[in-house]
Amino acid sequence: MPRYFIEVAYKGTRYSGFQVQNNAITIQSEVEGALAIKFGQTFQLTGASRTDAGVHALQNFFHFDTQADLFYQQYNKEKYTQQVLYSLNSILPGDIVITEIFEVREDQHCRFDAVSREYKYYIYRKKNPFYKDTAYFYPYTINFQILQEAASIILTTKDFTSFAKKNTQVNNFICTINKSEWVQENNFLIYNVVANRFLRGMVKGLVGTMLKTASGKISLEEFAEIVKRNNNNNTDFSAPSHGLFLVEVKYPTI
């Protein structure tokens, strides 16, 4: 059966997360609804990365299988695909956009075949009404050098039990972090992290606890101990979701 990937971007402010939930509006429920209206049939989507409520994405993916020949009904396949995208995006609300739909191998999986995910967390220091939905206002004193040192400590472990929220249902807490750094860019302080996988609440836990360290509430030694301790009793998950963006999901053949 043919399999298709859907690439999406969205502002997550209004949504209860990425994956479909009972009695909640999610990115998946909106995209499935648009597909059903366009093609007159139901679709069951599988997601690549389950962003939490309020988290945004510049790139995320779904895949689905269908017997229907969705995109080859006219001679000019590219033109027809663009018509499909236009129609779907006309149905979707303005804070979700489908950027691509394309056929892949029948065994290609948008979640399990992804080799890395990249997140960025945005912080702004001076009050600005245009940033309030997409970055965290943090006007307190921060030691940038300590932030960088804390980000480097994160690279020394693979067990992120300390940064997963309680009742996270996974087989293990092992993640391979390939990049962990803070940068200052224009009016933002940005945490950039790349890994093969992320746990529920992990990036917000990392950011909140690093900010606690850089603000002098705990020492770097205490931060390192939290990383090694493998429990989340002293992890700070208070960083709000609206500062977090899923930037890229990478595949070996996409």
The set of catalytic residues is 52
* Residue in 152, 143, 233, 135 with CA at minimum distance from that of residue 188: 135
Residue type at 4 in one-letter notation = Y
Q: Contact 15/54 with Cβ under 8 angstroms?
A: yes
Residue type at 118 in one-letter notation = E
Residue type at 212 in one-letter notation = K
Q: 80 labelled as ligand-binding?
A: no
HEC string of the chain equals CCEEEEEEEECHHHCCCCCCCCCCCCHHHHHHHHHHHHHCCCCCCEECCCCCCCCEEEEEEEEEECCCCCCCCCCCHHHHHHHHHHHHHHHCCCCEEEEEEEEECCCCCCCCCCCEEEEEEEEECCCCCCCCCCCEECCCCCCHHHHHHHHHHHCCCCECHHHCCCCCCCCCCECCEEEEEEEEECCEEEEEEEECCCCCCHHHHHHHHHHHHHCCCCCHHHHHHHHHHCCCCCCCCCCCHHHEEEEEEECCCC
CA 54 → CA 39, 57, 95, 193, 251, distances in Å? 29, 10, 12, 19, 25
* Residue list, annotated binding site: 119
* Residue list, annotated binding site for substrate: 119
